[in-house]
Structure 1
Amino acid sequence: MTETKRPRRSTEGGYARGEETRLRIIQAAIELFGEHGFVAASTRDIAAKAGVNAPALQYYFENKEGVYRACAEHLADEAWKRFEPVVRRSTQTLESSDDVPALIEAFIELQNVMMDKALETSKAPTLRLFFVREQGGREPPIATEIIQERVRRPLMGVATKLVSKICGMPPDDPLTIMRLLSLHGQFMLFHTAPRSLLTLFGWSTLDTEKIEFVKEAVFSNTRTLLRMWAGEHAAAQAARKKNTSAPPRTKRSNRASAKG
């Protein structure tokens, strides 16, 4: 796919109006790509939903692939605005502290922002469908490439390093990754399968009170698991230290023990 076209404009007012039009097209396209998929969503329908004529869409994006790429870039930029501050703070904690409680709270803060984003998306069906289709592998891969590079890689990278340091395991150890997935899995179904979870709980919607209940339950589970895994690592370290510091047994003591 080609790079998203961003034409120059001569005046500040014209630029502002142009950016508003461009954003309106992107928002309409996200809805239609979510509802119908890339192939079925036509540029004519996108233009109509955005309230512009078809040539305007071509002027801003050249073609449908350009529109789709712009949608992914917009979603990645918006998500990173939310995640960048907490990723930066988590990175600072990783670099400056070996204190397990501090590392756990850094992970909780990261998880909190991720949950806010996931639960927010669950209330926007077409936006959620955009991501479901993107992850399903049937849409153009450019969206996955953009979102992966700009958001998912740095976000999951720092989350993995936190779990790794807390558990005393390498970041690329499959068990480290499985533990991370188990922690995130507590809330990701609210993003991918909200109807099933609401039915299971007997809820009609996720209001503020229910969201706080879910978050507190997830945070409690996360702290319990991370403390347990950290404790297992500490116990294993203590056992190894005890074994290496114990004096070797002599042959005479071995014979004496055998006679006894």
Structure 2
Amino acid sequence: MSARNSPLPPPTRSATTPYKKGDETRDRILNAALAAFGNSGFARVTTRQIAEEAGINLPALNYYFGNKEGLYLACAHEILARYRESMAAVGEAALASLQGAPDPDGARAQLKLLLTALARFLLTSASEQNRLFVQRELADPGRAFEVLYAGLWRPGIELVAQLIIAASSARLTTAQARVRAVMMIAGLTGFQSGAPIISRTMGKAASLTMVIEALEAQVDALAR
């Protein structure tokens, strides 16, 4: 069994170990690792290559992350941290709106706010390194996939699905709402992964404003 898919816990110095936010060395290592793992995959990358790309020596990388497995998992946790930094406030508001018996109009308003924030994050804030790492995990799932699924994808889909149910006045079942949630979210990620195709097909017409307008139209359709 490879280290990447091992069920054993991560090394001592993992992404959950507290660090000073302004630690530039750690940030350089993470950015280099996100790009390396995203471009080449876990098995084909060495910590020496990542250290060289980050402009540090190998002992420094081991000090921060322990080994390649620790660094690999730290990349997944870093993506979660960047996502939560951008989405925490709107996500918490959406969760709060679901307490009790949310009215359909309020649920649609919250769903629009949530999807707009997600669109802005994915299409303007998310880095190329993050995108490559996530795409690699989707194509070849490892332990980082489980981190991203448990901390990002599953709760995100469930939150959007619950808002969809409320927005449709409970007309849709949980399964039907989940399908719509996946389609809405996947549509946004498609604008990331399919950027070269979209830019050649639509040029500058594929603006963030148009994407948000299309999402809002999908949300409004839940009332019908």
TM-score (norm 2): 0.83
Which of 112, 125, 128 is 2:128 aligned to? 125
Which of 95, 101, 107 is 1:103 aligned to? 107
The verdict on how the C-alpha distance between 1:130 and 1:35 changes in structure 2, with shifts beyond 3 A counting, is: same
Structure 2 unaligned residues grouped into runs of 5+? 1-7
The verdict on how the C-alpha distance between 1:215 and 1:78 changes in structure 2, with shifts beyond 3 A counting, is: same
Letter in 1 for 2:223: R
CA distance in 1: counterparts of 2:21 and 2:218, whole angstroms: 46
2:103–2:166 contact (8 Å) kept in structure 1? no
Higher relative contact order (CA 8 A, sep 6+): 2
Letter in 1 for 2:156: L
Aligned partner of 1:258 in structure 2 is none
Alignment of 1:189-208 (within 5 A): 189-203=190-204
Give the 3-state SS of the residue equivalent to 2:109 in structure 1: helix
CA distance in 2: counterparts of 1:186 and 1:26, whole angstroms: 28
How many pairs are equivalent? Answer: 212
CA distance in 1: counterparts of 2:11 and 2:117, whole angstroms: 29
CA distance in 1: counterparts of 2:125 and 2:131, whole angstroms: 6
Alignment of 1:1-260 (within 5 A): 1-6=8-13, 19-120=23-124, 124-136=127-139, 138-139=140-141, 141-167=142-168, 168-169=170-171, 172-173=174-175, 175-203=176-204, 210-219=207-216, 221-228=217-224
Say which one has the larger Rg.
1
Q: Which has the higher helix share?
A: 1
CA deviation map 1:13-45 (0-9, x unaligned): xx7599332222111111111222212222111
Structure 1 unaligned residues grouped into runs of 5+? 8-14, 229-260
Percent of matched pairs sharing the same residue:
27
Letter in 2 for 1:19: D
CA RMSD of aligned residues (A): 2.5
- Displacement of 1:199 in angstroms is 1.7
The verdict on how the C-alpha distance between 1:202 and 1:18 changes in structure 2, with shifts beyond 3 A counting, is: closer
Letter in 2 for 1:116: R
Aligned partner of 1:250 in structure 2 is none
TM-score (norm 1): 0.72
CA distance in 2: counterparts of 1:91 and 1:17, whole angstroms: 28
